[in-house]
Amino acid sequence: MSLFKKFKTDLRGNTTIMFALAVVPLLLAAGAGVDMLRVNNAQTVLQGAADAAAVAGASSGTVDQAQLNKIVEDYVKANGTEQVLKSMTGLDAKLDQKARTFSVTINGALDTTLMRVAGIDTMNVGAYSQVALANEGLEVALVLDNTGSMNDSNRLPALKAAAKQLVDEVFTAAGNNYIRVGVVPFSEYVNVGLGNRNAPWIDVPADTSTTTNQCWDTYPNATKSNCHMETSSWDLDGVPQTSTYEVCDWDYGSPVQQCGPVTNSQTWNGCVGSRDVSNDTSIGDPNSKYPGVQNVNCPIELMPLSNDRMSVNGKIDAMTGVGNTYIPSGLLWGWHLLDPNQPFTEAKSAGWMKAHGGHKALVLMTDGDNTLTASYPYHTPSADPSVANAKVTALCDSIKGEDITVYTVSLMVTNPVSKAMLVNCASDGSKAFTADDPSALAEAFHSITESLLAMRFVK
């Protein structure tokens, strides 16, 4: 073989060796990239599993470590960790009641692929999630529109279903924590209950009934002619109504006097009106009694804060639509339910709530505009809602100033002024909900429930 040929042979051998040496780091680099991508994917799965397990453990209501471990283990396995890990080397659930946090730590090993060439068979992966515990205390006042317009278009049945859904969900999620829910059905007035007639915070006139002999004219010989049907329209608490009736020409004839006993009654049905103008948007003056107003209609009796789920749902089921809209009444008595002082004393103090990480919330739901104004103590029809609207705003501001979270739900409200009023009443824009039809109430109330029970991811 010539020297040149030998040289060529030697050159090829050197090239092969150099290429082989160069390929090794290239394979390692490519393998590292592939395996790091697998690590990132596994990390994403583990983090999702850790977050789900942390939420489940924190909302379980238990402080038993064995039960918490079981809850966390089940959630971690259910969220696909076994599909991405060779083995789980560590799983830790930690409840810190003093810091009011619950944390989950997951550690595991992942099989490598191309990095085995470098002798790296596994890589460690892990995830950590910490959430703030659900509050130990929750008080909710449901201030619900029970006006006559709620009898239209399936509004009231839809409201009942949505409100009961909220009640069931918050009680189910409460675990062993303190939770109370109250209900304030409102329309023209609020019904505080006949049992409070003699309470120190209310002034109710005595029921009276007087009978006198009176005379009046009757027309027993009246005749009608030229009869035809006509249709008229009017608003029932802001909802257009129509009816058809007979119109005739009447010849009444000669009157015939009739005499007899006539009874005039003044009866209290549990309804309360507005205090004087300096007190009708506040609850702080115990010396200013609430006036019991007689011979007026109001919804069923309100229900103070209670931990009896069945009773709360029963109260909601019993609601009926009656009368026109005066939103300030509902807000004022919803505020009273959340205040520990008279008239109702079931609520915890602000100090207790702060010490236990609890909170208070008021949920206002209405389907229309304020159609009444305060005439003290009564509420009378008004074409100008601005005065009542101003009282709504004042009440909402005062309630929010007491660290009470206000949610609003407007059902089929079209007046832009009323819609803006309800949005501004809420604690912030995320807590103001609009339902364009009754079926949307369920989603709005479910969103409120999620907000009430929300837990915050800390890390």
Q: Over the chain, what HEC string results? A: CCHHHHHHHHHHHHHHHHHHHHHHHHHHHHHHHHHHHHHHHHHHHHHHHHHHHHHHHHCCCCCCHHHHHHHHHHHHHHCCHHHHCCEEEEEEEEEECCCCEEEEEEEEEEECCHHHHHCCCEEEEEEEEEEECCCCEEEEEEEEECCHHHHCCCHHHHHHHHHHHHHHHHHHHHCCCEEEEEEEEECCCEECCHHHCCCCCEECCCCEEEEEEEEEEECCCCEEEEEEEEEEEEEECCEEEEEEEEEEEEECCCCEEEEEEEEEEECEEEEECCCCCCCCCCCCCCCCCEEEEECCCCCCCCEEEECCHHHHHHHHHCCCCCCCCCHHHHHHHHHHHCCCCCCCCCCCCHHHHHHCCCEEEEEEEECCCCCEEECCCCEEECCCCHHHHHHHHHHHHHHHCCCEEEEEEEECCCCHHHHHHHHHHCCCHHHEEEECCHHHHHHHHHHHHHHHCCCCECC
pLDDT of residue 120: 72
pLDDT of residue 9: 52
pLDDT per position in the chain (459 positions), as tens?
544 444 445 555 555 555 455 455 545 555 455 667 777 877 787 888 888 888 778 766 677 888 888 887 887 777 766 666 656 677 888 888 667 788 889 887 777 766 666 667 677 888 888 877 656 789 999 999 999 999 999 999 999 999 999 999 999 887 778 999 999 999 999 999 999 999 999 999 999 999 999 999 999 999 999 999 999 987 777 677 788 999 999 999 999 999 999 999 999 999 999 999 999 999 988 889 999 999 999 999 999 999 999 999 999 999 999 999 999 999 999 999 999 999 999 999 999 998 888 899 999 999 989 999 999 999 999 989 999 999 999 999 999 999 999 999 999 999 999 999 999 999 999 999 999 999 999 999 999 998 898 755 565
pLDDT of residue 223: 95
pLDDT of residue 42: 74
Stated pTM of the model = 0.74
- Under 8 Å between Cβ of 361 and 139: yes
Q: Which residue's structure tokens are 């944390």?
A: 103
pLDDT of residue 144: 98
pLDDT of residue 4: 43
pLDDT of residue 201: 97
pLDDT of residue 13: 52
Return d(Cα 58, Cα 283) in angstroms, integer. 37
State how far Cα 351 lies from the chain centre. 23
Residue (of 352, 370, 357) closest to 425 by Cα position: 370
pLDDT of residue 38: 73
Q: What angle do CA 135, 140, 142 make, to 5 degrees?
A: 155
